[in-house]
C-alpha cells in the first residue's frame, strides 16, 4: 500500500482540501495520514509570528476531521513524526498580493527544512471567490477569473522564493470547474461541501502520488455529487495536472 504523511500549516482552505483526502486514498488502496494545523483565516504573517513565538495556537485536525480540541505549535507538529510532505498557503484575503507573502514564506519553508529535512515542501495554491459576490467586490474584483489571475501569480512567486518542491493546483482546478459547474463555493469563498471539496481531494491525491485520478473511486460526500459530476471532476483535475506537468 502506498503511504504518505502530510502536514498542512494552513487554515480553513486546507481544511477543505483535506476533508475527503484520507478516506478517498483509503478507498483506492493508499494511505494518506494527513494533519491540518488550523486557525481560521490564518495568514502567512501570523504563521511566521507563531513560529517565532512557538505558540500552541493551532487546533490539530486529523484525517479531515475537526473538533479534537487538541492544540499544538508548528514546531511540535513538525517534530511529531517523519513527514513526507508539508504544505504552506496564504490566507485567501491576502493571497492576491505578493507583498503579503514575504519574508514569511521563505522563513516558514526554511524552518520546515531544518526540522523535517526529508519532507517535500509544497505550496497550496488557493482559489478565487465567487464571481460578483459581495465578498469578491470587497477586495476590488468582479469575477473569479480576475481575482485568481492575481492569486496564481502570487503563489508562483512564492513557490520560487522558497524553492518549493511543487504546487498543489487547487485554485486552477476550481477555476476550470466553475466554468462547467454552477456552484463550487458554499459561501462565496470556501469550497462547496460536495463537489468543491471532492475536486480538492482529487487534486491533492493526484499530485501527491503523481498519478491520474481517472480511475479513482469515491462516493461518500457531505452533499450529493452525481455520477456525471464525479466523472467530469476527474477529467478537470487530470487536465490541470497534465497542463502543469504533474502527470504525463
pLDDT digits (tens, 9 = 90+) for 183-204: 999 999 999 999 999 999 999 9
How far, in whole angstroms, is CA 2 from its chain's centroid?
Answer: 21
pLDDT of residue 2: 87
User: Which pairing describes strands 2-9 and 30-38: parallel, antiparallel, or unpaired?
Assistant: parallel
The C-alpha torsion from 180 through 183 and 189 to 195, rounded to 10°, is -90
C-alpha cell at 174: 476550481
Which cell numbers in the block locate residue 90? 496564504
Gap between the Cα atoms of 35 and 83, Å rounded: 10
Asked if 64 and 21 count as a contact pair (C-beta separation under 8 A), the reply is yes
Nearest to 85, CA basis, from 180, 194, 10, 172: 10
The dotted CATH code for 2-243 is: 3.40.50.1110
pTM of the model: 0.98
Report pLDDT digits (tens) over 31-88. Answer: 999 999 999 999 999 999 999 999 999 999 999 998 777 999 999 999 999 999 999 9
**With 0-12 CB in 10 A as exposed, 13-18 as middle and 19+ as buried, what is 234?**
buried
What residue segments make up the domains of the chain, in order of their start?
A: 2-243
Q: Please, are residues 58 and 102 in contact by the beta-carbon 8 Å criterion?
A: no
To the nearest whole number, what is the mean pLDDT of the chain? 97
pLDDT tens for each residue of 123-173: 999 999 999 999 999 999 999 999 999 999 999 999 999 999 999 999 999
Residue 90 is predicted with a pLDDT of 98
Amino acid at each position: 500500500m502506498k503511504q504518505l504523511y502530510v502536514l498542512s500549516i494552513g487554515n480553513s482552505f486546507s481544511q477543505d482540501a483535506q476533508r475527503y483526502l484520507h478516506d478517498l486514498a483509503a478507498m483506492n488502496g493508499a494511505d494518506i495520514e494527513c494533519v491540518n494545523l488550523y486557525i481560521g483565516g490564518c495568514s502567512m504573517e501570523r504563521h511566521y509570528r507563531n513560529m517565532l513565538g512557538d505558540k500552541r495556537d493551532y487546533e490539530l485536525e486529523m484525517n479531515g476531521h475537526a473538533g479534537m480540541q487538541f492544540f499544538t505549535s508548528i514546531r511540535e507538529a513538525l517534530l511529531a513524526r517523519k513527514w513526507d510532505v508539508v504544505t504552506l498557503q496564504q490566507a485567501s484575503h491576502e493571497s492576491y498580493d505578493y507583498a503579503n507573502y514575504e519574508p514569511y514564506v521563505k522563513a516558514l519553508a526554511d524552518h520546515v527544512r531544518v526540522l523535517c529535512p526529508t519532507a517535500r515542501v509544497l505550496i497550496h495554491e488557493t482559489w478565487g471567490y465567487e464571481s460578483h459576490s459581495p465578498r469578491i467586490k470587497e477586495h476590488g474584483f468582479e469575477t473569479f477569473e480576475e481575482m485568481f489571475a492575481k492569486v496564481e501569480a502570487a503563489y508562483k512567486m512564492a513557490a520560487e522564493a522558497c524553492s518549493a518542491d511543487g504546487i498543489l493546483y487547487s485554485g486552477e482546478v476550481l477555476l476550470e470547474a466553475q466554468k462547467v459547474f454552477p456552484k463550487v463555493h458554499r459561501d462565496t469563498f470556501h469550497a462547496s461541501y460536495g463537489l468543491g471539496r471532492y475536486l480538492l481531494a482529487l487534486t491533492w491525491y493526484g499530485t501527491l502520488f503523481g498519478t491520474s485520478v481517472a480511475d479513482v473511486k469515491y462516493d461518500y460526500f457531505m452533499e450529493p455529487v452525481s455520477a456525471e459530476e464525479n466523472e467530469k471532476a476527474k477529467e478537470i483535475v487530470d487536465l490541470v495536472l497534465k497542463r502543469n506537468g504533474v502527470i504525463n
